[in-house]
Chains A and B, each alone.
Chain A
């Protein structure tokens, strides 16, 4: 592992982990997130049965 490799790895992993961590914190701190936020996996087209 070279110095360049350490820099690339730590910056890459650090950036995505930090960003995801910030997003989780924001979701947990957002009142009503459970009704107001959606992702692709929880959107059900209206014509699908319950």
Chain B
């Protein structure tokens, strides 16, 4: 197999490495998804499945995924199907790589829409359109509902109106693909090396402001920052015991998936990027620092800002609404109540947009790698094909906007369940196929720190049992009260969304099948040349 090209070296200083880590770490998940989930489930009790998932799954699997990616890369493969083929000499192995294709591609289809919301909100706050009052959340809810088309399907695509959300989506889509098509990702990454730490600095400023809010409304002394922190961190035991509150299978599944989503593990992205490393580049300290940086942004910043700020101004009612409610209804109101809020809000949403762009660009690379090495397409043809596929998906999401059901369905079946499945497969591949010893040797190669040997034991024995256990726990709960299964049965949009995901899955299975035939022909030709 050809030796992979050596990376150009970008960093002049170790400070540059830390800035890059922070750039990788920060994202929408830290400030929007994590606080929303924590508020949705039992407050402080949520942190138990969260940290267990971090230590038993997130960190070990991050190391495993980096290792498997570099292992496949040194054997000439950069796509997930190819890497799996290099690790597991079984005819079926590349086909399991379909998960590594549909997870980033389908997530990209709705992620770019949310990215457009961030850009739009930065614009709206900057132009004063989002100063809708300081005490009533309804105008902000109505604004968001109107903006994204919550009221009915097809709202955003009604003829005769150039819809703002669609304009911003087209702009973001075009920006993403222009950058990828022109290969200018390095340019945007250079800019984001400074912009992302600026986002973290901005988050610190907002955090300081939130923690010094005290009691903004003397007429409501119970709405104070300490109670706001309590709402986020207190284990909620008003209606059930603490142990009972932990027996929620959906909470464990979503805590686990949040870890994977936030760390970009089980996404199909890290394994692809790791395949471009040299065989003696460090994995151990790089992966650990990246995960630690992400957790710092998520728990210490995201966890301390969004929910307490929402509570202080709006009470418990202000904390509901999930990810989107918090990010796009509550936060603008928080900024409206804050001195210099218009400036801080504009900067905050602008930088969130940039964080989203860097994430969305990286989601396209796994599929590009397959199209290039599996089908022999050049980069520009690969990008064009991928652009077409993802545009159809994004338009699907835009059309079926009522209650954001299509987006929510995609997010659950692919962004939660799909990631969970992919992570489970990768754990088994690393622990049982590559093998504990070979896997740990791969992590140790070039490592700047020695990863504890117990990590190999955890990946091989503990992680699979934990993942399968959560799955059974969750599945039994779904049999009794399966909201997502019921949605498929009862709601046409959910059915169409699942069918759409199925079509994308079939599409990539066909591509993988063609790729396998091509790889087999190449291997046979090489064997004949040098028996």
Chain A residues with CB under 8 Å of chain B are 1-2, 4-6, 8-9, 12-13, 15-17, 19-20, 22-24, 26-28, 30, 33-50
Contacts and interface: CB of A to CB of B under 8 A. Distances in A.
Given A27-B14, A34-B12, 18 more contacts: A1-B234, A5-B233, A8-B44, A9-B229, A9-B233, A16-B295, A16-B296, A20-B293, A30-B14, A37-B289, A38-B7, A38-B20, A39-B17, A40-B264, A41-B193, A42-B10, A43-B273, A47-B372
Interface in B293-332: 293, 295-296, 298-300, 303-304
A40 B234 contact: no
A40 B285 contact: no
Given A23-B293, A43-B7, A48 B303 contact: no
Contacts of B448: 26, 30, 33, 36-37
B83 interface: no
B379 interface: yes
A44 B8 contact: yes
10 cross-chain pairs, A with B, having the tightest CB-CB distances, nearest first: A5-B234, A34-B11, A8-B44, A1-B230, A48-B183, A49-B183, A46-B5, A23-B289, A20-B296, A9-B233
Contact of B44 (A4, A33, A36, A50): A4
A34 B44 CA distance: 38
A24 B185 contact: no
Contact of B235 (A8, A20, A36, A44): A8
B438 interface: no
B17 A12 contact: no
Contacts of B227: 1
Contacts of B5: 46
B312 to A, nearest CB: 13
Given A1-B227, A5-B229, A27-B14, A43 B300 contact: no
20 contacts: A5-B233, A6-B233, A9-B44, A13-B300, A16-B299, A19-B292, A23-B285, A26-B289, A26-B448, A28-B14, A33-B17, A33-B282, A38-B282, A40-B362, A43-B276, A44-B189, A45-B78, A47-B372, A48-B186, A48-B379
A1 B236 CA distance: 11
A27 B296 CA distance: 16
Contacts of B14: 27-28, 30, 33-34
Contacts of A41: 20, 23-24, 189, 192-193, 358
A6 B43 CA distance: 12
Contacts of B78: 45
Contacts of A19: 292, 295-296
Contacts of A38: 7, 20, 277, 281-282, 286
Contacts of B270: 40
B258 to A, nearest CB: 14
A1 to B, nearest CB: 4
A32 to B, nearest CB: 9
A35 B11 contact: yes
B292 A39 contact: no
A19 to B, nearest CB: 4
B13 interface: yes
A4 B234 contact: yes
Contacts of A4: 44, 234-235
B369 A45 contact: yes
Nearest to A19: B292
B24 A20 contact: no
Contact of A37 (B17, B296, B372): B17
B21 A39 contact: yes
Nearest to A28: B14
Contacts of A8: 44, 47, 233-235
Nearest to B288: A23
B235 A39 contact: no
A23 to B, nearest CB: 4
Contacts of A30: 14, 285, 448
B449 interface: yes
A5 B233 CA distance: 5
Contact of A16 (B12, B285, B300): B300
A39 B449 CA distance: 16
A19 B44 CA distance: 20
A27 B17 contact: yes
Nearest to A36: B282
Contacts of B185: 44, 48
A21 B121 CA distance: 33
Given A8-B235, A39-B290, A40-B24, A17 B13 contact: no
Most A CB within 10 A of own CB, among B10, B358, B368: B10
